[in-house]
Structure 1
Amino acid sequence: MLYGRAGEQAKVERLLAEARAGRSGTLVVRGPAGIGKSAILNHAAERAEDMRVLRGVGVESEATLPFAALHLLLRTGLGRIHLLPDAQAAALNGALGLGDIAPRSRFLVGLATLSLLADLAGDGALLCLIDDAQWFDQASLDALMFAARRLEAEGVVMIFTAREGFPAVGLPELRLSGLDGAAAAALLPADLPPQVRERLIEESDGNPLALIELPAALSAEQRAGRLSPVGAMPVAARVQDAFQAQIAALAEPARTALLIAAADGSGELETLVAAGATLDGLGAAEQNRLIEIAGDAVGFRHPLIRAAAYQSAPTARRLAVHRALADALTRSSAIDAADRRAWHLAAAVLGPDEGIARELAQAAERARSRGGHTAIAAAYERAAELSVDPIRRSGRLAAAALAASDAGLMDRAARLADRATPDVDDPEITAALVQVRAHREFELGTPLAAGRIIMDGVPRVAARSAERATWLLVEAIRCAWFAGDTTLAEEAAAGLRALPAIESPLVTGALGLARLLAGDIDGGVPLMSEAVDEHRRAGLGVPGLTFTAALSFALGRAALAAEITGGVVTDCQQSGMIGWLAHALQDHGLALGRLGRYGEATATLNAGLRLATDLGHEHRVSYLTCTLAWVLAHLGDRQGCRARAEEGVANADKQGMILAASTGRWALGVLELGLGRPDAALRQLQAIPVTSIAVLSAPDQVEAAIRSGQPELAQEPLARYVAWARQVRQPPSDAIALRCRALVQEDEAHFAQAVHLHGDAQPYELARTRLAYGEWLRRARRRADARVQLRGALEIFDRLGAQLWAERARAELRATGDVPAAPRQAGDPLSVLTPQERQVVRLAAGGASNRDIAARLFLSPRTVGYHLYKAFPKLGVTSRAQLAAIAHLPD
């Protein structure tokens, strides 16, 4: 029975009721040790008698073993892994040590976990209880958090308990405080004198465990009220002292058994006995309510008991127990026995030991095969601490730093890198350390500082390896592009020119990008074009293709950028390269937006934003936020665009993310133009540095200057854009250049030629040209001619969902005496769907199964089914077969 927790119990019971109705939910229960977090989980389990229940508990000593906690939680459902999509099944089997194929990404394991939980829920509901989550290994936690943030319509409830400091961004929380006086009094023995009861309630601060355990530790004098019942120390420490007193009163076999169990952490009865724990000793500890034995599993009744058993033992005894456990694990057949043995050996020594360091390094590589990047970092870090040779120590620290960086632990990665020997000569180690420091600075600091870190490290790397130095310099130019810094770009380009030439389109493209940043359009664009044209023959991987897509954007080749990024997104999804997927989704969303496919672009960018948030990549979050604002500006979403653009620009400005901030300002400029506020638009567009995307945003700046009555301010952006368009030689760019010249020069021939050149590649830009031409014709009192252009513009704007621009076209048509059609998205029944429903319907219409759609969109199959269930009535269809008719409609 729970005292004083009626509100908390009701909240848990509401979650369970919603799960029974098919709606998923999550809850993080926070509070200090002994406050009753586990009791809340017990209450949930009692109320879930009609649900399947999975339960796992974090153990501090196992936090370095990748996926150990996940294996424990899912152990009763492992037999259903084979029902998952092949890539997910392989990833989860590999992570749990049940298969030979290593998972390529921790987030692919997370997707498999989500799918398995949905499958285990079946047609009913599933309750997943995770106790002491702060002590779960990071790999398990990543998978569970990934799943928790994507639960929708599976009928799954996940409840975590954790102490303060546990990261659970975006999940609802319940914070437990101490019990009130009446509830606290109900937990105390009735035979205590009133003054003792009052003092215990006061000193315990309402902590339930303290109220239960402290009375049992009172001496006769304290119970009688003749001595103070407790001392001046934190509640958890007082309770732990009470447990230590209980342990000290036990016979030697029970104390030894408790110490071995506390040092081990796995709870395997066979291992504990092999290490010297006697069954009599374990039995005595169980009789005293310190541990619980269920079959062949041993568990402590509370984490503070484990801490008391371990910390009360002398150091020599702890070391001896770790050695005994290492010996016992030598004979164990458990999947993770070798890893646990290495860690026990490491805990049993006080100084450097190369043999143990080697075993830990081997454990790190085994963790790599299972995708446990945090475990890799921990094992290599401890191996470095035990290393005798300084070069090996630095190499292991570099490996730990890279693994921590891959795990998204940027600050830890930087600290590990800083501990490496500064004078190490190995170019591979030096380059790795430079990459780690730069990556951390790029994602959490400023791209300019990241580039400077690279430039500082290049001379040492170049002295030993020109090739590794080359790739570092290419990365430095990329940093300069994001930072809008011409000095850094030129320094890195000079460094590239000084090194032996490497035949690669990436080098050519980087040199061209550096020139473009410096304002040398005539010199930079041809090099970038050469790189893009050659990329298919270069056999580039995902990083190289991502860089090529960025060059395509800068060349105005949106269709090629969409093709490349679409392929990269698919590659990342299929191979599990989730670290690159957020970047790919960002670029693909922007490419789709440039092509006027705004619905698909919005869904893609939202997916990327959620993923970047999960990864903790602050730079990517800001960039995605600004890019999403840019798409929303074209859709005329005033509130959504402003909120995202202002948030993204503020964050980007603080961290010197010039490219991201420029995208946000471009978004606000487009929005203000659509609202008919050219002065405000011009202020935003003029704030975009010429070293950033000022070429791409120049047409909007030209129009804003003309419409605000300041044609002199249109001359520079016009010249800039015309010079660029002349070099890139793309029909849409030539057409936009003609539109800009027509606006400045009021030359009808330029308008007519622009409309002819546009084609269908970028419908939004064609509509903008036809609108501008129609407005000019109306002012020239050629109403019939104006209507032709304005109707064409309106049809495109309506179809694209560009509401503000459609309103402008409608207003112009009315001014010609025409009566325009009501607002619509002609021929697009998908306009009634949410972005998520739109993506699901398109994939389903193309023949993809719910499982396939779930794998591509990082959802569970049940959530996909829910979206289809909601979409069918909106579309007026009753079956998947009817969706085929809309499979190829424009987005």
Structure 2
Amino acid sequence: MSGTTKRPRPHLRGRRDECEVLDRLVASARLGGHGVLVLRGAPGIGKSALLEYVAAAAADCRLLRVGGVESQMELAFAGLHELCEPLLNLLDRLPGPQADALATAFGLHEGTPPDQFLVGLATSTLLSESAGGGPVICLVDDAQWLDQASVRTLAFVARRLTAHSVVVVIAVRAGESAKPWAGLPGLSLHGLAAPDAREMLESAVSGHLDARVRERILAEAHGNPLALLELPRWFTAAELSFGPGPGSTAGTRSLTGRMEEGFRRQLELLPHESRLLLLIAAAEPLGDVRLLWRAAQRLGIGVAAARAAEHAGLIELRQSARFRHPLVRSVAYHSATVVERQAAHRALAEGTDPQVDPDRQAWHFAAAATGPDEAVAAQLERSADRALAQGGLAAAAAFLERAAVLTPDAADRVQRRLNAAQAMMHAGALEEALQLLTVTEHGPLDDLQRARLDVLRAQIGLAANRAREVLPLLVGAARRLEPLDVQLALESYVDAFTAAWFAGHLATEPGAMAVALMVRDVPRPSPPRRGDDLLRALGVLFGDGYQTAAPMLRTAIQAFDSDDIPVQEAVRFLWLATVVAIDLRDGRAWDQLASRHLRIARDSGAVSALPLALNSRVFVDLFSGDLPAAAALVHEAEAATELAQIRMTPYGAIGLAAFAGRDDHTTRFLASARRDAAARGEGLSVSLTYWASALLSNSHGRYPAALESARVAAAHPEEMVVRSWSLVELVEAAARTGDSVTAADAAEQLAETARASGTDWAAGVAARSQAQLEGPRTEELYREAVDRLERTNLRVESARARLLYGEWLRRAGRRLEARAHLRPAYDALAAMGMEAFAARARRELSATGETVRRQTVEKQKQLTAQELHIARLAASGLTNAEIASELFISPRTVEWHIRKVFTKLRLTARRQLPEALRGISPEP
């Protein structure tokens, strides 16, 4: 809800420091700043009171509020929808994909499952657009009880908050659901100091308070404000002075337990109908008073029941139902009998409009069920389908798990449990999925279900970065599936190959080569899929060699150059097609396939696939020399990895660091990434860091170090892509250190690849490598390399060819000819932001006698990767709205970045951008 009515600020005794922190946040929002604060503390410690303080302090701002409810079901994006509902009139200001994602997530219209990354961006944009009319204050109470889709999105927004005049304050119970909010600015609330606690207690008690009773309350409360206010009302002076009476368990309870016991005593004093009314309100998470009364009437509860509950101060029934404290709601629900709870849920289900809210009705019917009920289970299964359509994997898992419990037929129950476990896995609830599989494996499973269970367990292991452990399980499941379901068998082989390829040289048996060979004997499914042909071609590659497999690989990836690929097939296989395109040195196919992979991952809502798609696309931009675009994608990949809640090697960041050539922090970064990858058993990632080290060392002219790193990185034939890139660095490092045998061997391997591939990229790199051996055809080979590589869009490869050719000419004493290649190499490398290679070219130019002015940028003019990316798009003629749509941000955010660019570069008009951006690279 929102509000602008002026209200007096509550006086919070003993919370002066906390209130000052909150005042500064609100003041910052009024001045155009933004901020996030997570309030953590025990029940009753004052989190909600501090949120009320913020609401009063920011009464002239736009207030958005949502509170989690313990009995709230896992309805996808329910909490986020409640928070953002007042802003939905601004949806048309969002870029189209963002508006569609948010509308689908909120169930405003049907569509493909929304990308959670896009939902997070859309939420940020929506807040930014709202802040255009004044500061926006978002208050989230009891965040531990929000649905997981909302939690992940709000945590993403909080971490990436850049919108002007937006503040987010989140209250969460200490020790509960801490992971989503880890790393955010926080404030831990503790009990009040002794003088404040004493004053609060005295203000809550009318009349004389025995000294022993007072000290007992103070000792019991530990400064907890709610306990100080309520304990005197709940327990007798005798209990407080001398302890609980015979048979009581109050003395052994925690403080929270004592407070719950106190509220329970208050409930026991109410008439039976009032307690039932409170139970219904506790079971209905939205506080819908009209629904509350419809359900109450079905149980014969009248208005008098409400008067007694309100008179006791336990609930307010106005426009919505609001409990005095979340503990009251919890006690009202859990102190009721099972039969009473079932009756309350049945009344709520019958009072819910199935056309307006079929999913809540299904959940209430499920809670009311007294035993297996196929009709309710089927209704829950339909709700799961709707949840999936809204991107609510956690919600779908909750519906399916409950449906399985209510399923009478054993085989159907197993199937629903397997589906629930799969949804849990995709939602990131890996431990919960494993627990459900453990329960499921003890049931009556047929062969297909047993194999599917093994596949799911292995896929969970893959998601948890345990590739080495799950390889045998995946292969065993795939073999058992071959006679049962050949398509599922091939999908399992894809997972096995994925695990083996990423595990690389650290894989246990079977490795990538063995898995690929197994696929050659699997029967061809009907109808055949593109991915199956690709997998078979890989089997030929590992079994019969590159020369034989190249035509099959080329045909297989060409099949993916189409817009009619089913989403599931695209998400599963496009990354692999991209890898093959790189290994074939087909730059055009690599560009197109990586772009398609990224677009489909975004559009389909495949959150788990997005980080890999982004990291893959980074390398296209790197080899094309567009480091600012690569840096922007690295930034996006970090956010997507965080949202997907997965651990992934930062492939793109590793490549960017090596290409940029800034040695001050890159070496430490690569060493850290190498240790992390080795600990996870990711041999491919370990080799990638050695390749990056070799590239970095070559760029700085440290050839012995480059030789050592490249030799390690190129040692494993099964590590496609990384090995071929490493051979390039190995040739240069070995040639420069006089290791002609190693250089010749690596160059010949590249030549063999080029003969089979036939692309300008492959032939150009092979010619450049052969030229470095310095035989009678050296100059001819350098010219061929320059000519072929300049036909591609791989500007880095072309610039490096000119640099090597120029260096050779300079060493041969042909200075004027050397300059003709070193000058364009330097200009290109400097413009691309490849600082170390540019410095190497500049030194060579100086050695030819040419004076070179270093292309530097004053510190105050340096732009961030995002600023530079936006500035370049603006320089190309795109409007703010067009840039916003392309980058999935709001036009206001684009305008903000453009203003910062103008300030840093001291510009006054957009027409000045193209000239001002020459030679500028992003900040590290």
Give, in angstroms, the shift of residue 376 of structure 1: 0.6
- Amino acid of the residue matched to residue 870 of structure 2? V
Q: Which residue number corresponds to residue 376 of structure 2?
A: 356
Q: Which residue number corresponds to residue 227 of structure 2?
A: 210
- Amino acid of the residue matched to residue 493 of structure 1? A
CA gap 1:667/1:517 in 2 versus in 1, 3 angstroms:
farther
Structure 1: gaps spanning 5 or more residues: none
- Amino acid of the residue matched to residue 105 of structure 2? A
Aligned residues: 879
- C-alpha distance in 1 between matches for 2:562 and 2:380: 42
Q: Which residue number corresponds to residue 677 of structure 1?
A: 702
Give, in angstroms, the shift of residue 649 of structure 1: 1.9
1:246 and 2:266 aligned: yes
**TM-score (normalised: structure 2):** 0.88
Q: Which residue number corresponds to residue 754 of structure 1?
A: 785
Alignment of 1:520-599 (within 5 A): 520-536=545-561, 539-541=564-566, 542-543=570-571, 544-574=573-603, 576-599=605-628
Query: Alignment partner of 1:157: what SS?
Result: strand
- C-alpha distance in 2 between matches for 1:409 and 1:22: 38
CA gap 1:722/1:847 in 2 versus in 1, 3 angstroms:
same
Give, in angstroms, the shift of residue 291 of structure 1: 1.2
- C-alpha distance in 2 between matches for 1:802 and 1:102: 41
Question: Which range is displaced more, 542-551 or 601-610?
Answer: 542-551
1:606 and 2:635 aligned: yes
> Do the aligned residues in 2 keep the contact of 1:597 with 1:890 (CA within 8 Å)?
no
Give, in angstroms, the shift of residue 493 of structure 1: 3.4
Q: Which residue number corresponds to residue 165 of structure 1?
A: 176
> Do the aligned residues in 1 keep the contact of 2:763 with 2:788 (CA within 8 Å)?
yes
Alignment of 1:299-698 (within 5 A): 299-329=322-352, 332=353, 335-336=356-357, 338-421=358-441, 424-425=445-446, 433=453, 436-484=456-504, 487-501=510-524, 503-516=528-541, 520-536=545-561, 539-541=564-566, 542-543=570-571, 544-574=573-603, 576-618=605-647, 621-622=648-649, 625-688=650-713, 689-692=716-719, 693-698=722-727
Deviations 1:407-427 (A, max 9, x none): 232333343344435764485
Deviations 1:341-398 (A, max 9, x none): 3222322334322232222222222323332211110010011112121211122112
CA gap 1:208/1:529 in 2 versus in 1, 3 angstroms:
same
Query: Alignment partner of 2:33: what SS?
Result: coil
Query: Alignment partner of 1:738: what SS?
Result: helix
- C-alpha distance in 1 between matches for 2:354 and 2:523: 53
Q: Which residue number corresponds to residue 871 of structure 1?
A: 901
- C-alpha distance in 2 between matches for 1:684 and 1:519: 29
> Do the aligned residues in 2 keep the contact of 1:290 with 1:301 (CA within 8 Å)?
yes
Q: Which residue number corresponds to residue 56 of structure 1?
A: 66
> Do the aligned residues in 1 keep the contact of 2:693 with 2:709 (CA within 8 Å)?
yes
- C-alpha distance in 1 between matches for 2:879 and 2:610: 22
- C-alpha distance in 2 between matches for 1:10 and 1:646: 43
Question: Which range is displaced more, 703-712 or 250-259?
Answer: 703-712
CA gap 1:411/1:840 in 2 versus in 1, 3 angstroms:
farther
Q: Which residue number corresponds to residue 808 of structure 2?
A: 776
Alignment of 1:738-887 (within 5 A): 738-745=767-774, 747=776, 748-749=778-779, 750-759=781-790, 761=792, 762-824=794-856, 832-846=862-876, 848-880=878-910
CA gap 1:528/1:890 in 2 versus in 1, 3 angstroms:
farther
Q: Which residue number corresponds to residue 714 of structure 1?
A: 743
Question: Which range is displaced more, 431-440 or 45-54?
Answer: 431-440
Query: Alignment partner of 1:189: what SS?
Result: helix
CA gap 1:858/1:442 in 2 versus in 1, 3 angstroms:
farther
> Do the aligned residues in 1 keep the contact of 2:561 with 2:592 (CA within 8 Å)?
no
Alignment of 1:187-336 (within 5 A): 187-189=200-202, 191-222=208-239, 225=241, 231-276=251-296, 277-295=301-319, 297-329=320-352, 332=353, 335-336=356-357
- C-alpha distance in 1 between matches for 2:859 and 2:602: 28
- C-alpha distance in 2 between matches for 1:496 and 1:396: 30
Structure 2: gaps spanning 5 or more residues: 1-10
Q: Which residue number corresponds to residue 155 of structure 2?
A: 145
Question: Which range is displaced more, 658-667 or 139-148?
Answer: 139-148
- C-alpha distance in 2 between matches for 1:889 and 1:579: 36
CA gap 1:416/1:326 in 2 versus in 1, 3 angstroms:
same
Give, in angstroms, the shift of residue 539 of structure 1: 4.0
- C-alpha distance in 1 between matches for 2:494 and 2:382: 33
1:182 and 2:211 aligned: no
> Do the aligned residues in 2 keep the contact of 1:452 with 1:488 (CA within 8 Å)?
no
> Do the aligned residues in 1 keep the contact of 2:115 with 2:603 (CA within 8 Å)?
no
- C-alpha distance in 2 between matches for 1:476 and 1:890: 44
- C-alpha distance in 2 between matches for 1:534 and 1:575: 20
- C-alpha distance in 2 between matches for 1:765 and 1:302: 65
Give, in angstroms, the shift of residue 552 of structure 1: 0.8
Query: Alignment partner of 1:56: what SS?
Result: strand
Deviations 1:236-268 (A, max 9, x none): 111111111111122223222222222333322
Give, in angstroms, the shift of residue 29 of structure 1: 1.2
Give, in angstroms, the shift of residue 881 of structure 1: 6.4
- Amino acid of the residue matched to residue 200 of structure 2? L
Of all paired residues, the percent bearing the same amino acid is 35
Out of 68, 73, 78, the position equivalent to 2:83 is 73
Question: Which range is displaced more, 810-819 or 27-36?
Answer: 810-819
- C-alpha distance in 1 between matches for 2:898 and 2:251: 62
Give, in angstroms, the shift of residue 698 of structure 1: 0.7
Give, in angstroms, the shift of residue 232 of structure 1: 3.8
CA gap 1:66/1:273 in 2 versus in 1, 3 angstroms:
same
- C-alpha distance in 2 between matches for 1:483 and 1:513: 17
**TM-score (normalised: structure 1):** 0.91
> Do the aligned residues in 2 keep the contact of 1:511 with 1:524 (CA within 8 Å)?
no
Q: Which residue number corresponds to residue 16 of structure 2?
A: 6
Deviations 1:806-834 (A, max 9, x none): 22222223333332232359xx9999432
Query: Alignment partner of 1:536: what SS?
Result: coil
CA gap 1:326/1:787 in 2 versus in 1, 3 angstroms:
closer
- C-alpha distance in 1 between matches for 2:282 and 2:238: 32
> Do the aligned residues in 1 keep the contact of 2:538 with 2:549 (CA within 8 Å)?
yes
- C-alpha distance in 2 between matches for 1:526 and 1:25: 56
Query: Alignment partner of 1:699: what SS?
Result: helix
Out of 26, 34, 39, the position equivalent to 2:44 is 34
- C-alpha distance in 2 between matches for 1:239 and 1:386: 35
- C-alpha distance in 1 between matches for 2:733 and 2:589: 29
Question: Which range is displaced more, 590-599 or 721-730?
Answer: 721-730
Query: Alignment partner of 2:395: what SS?
Result: helix
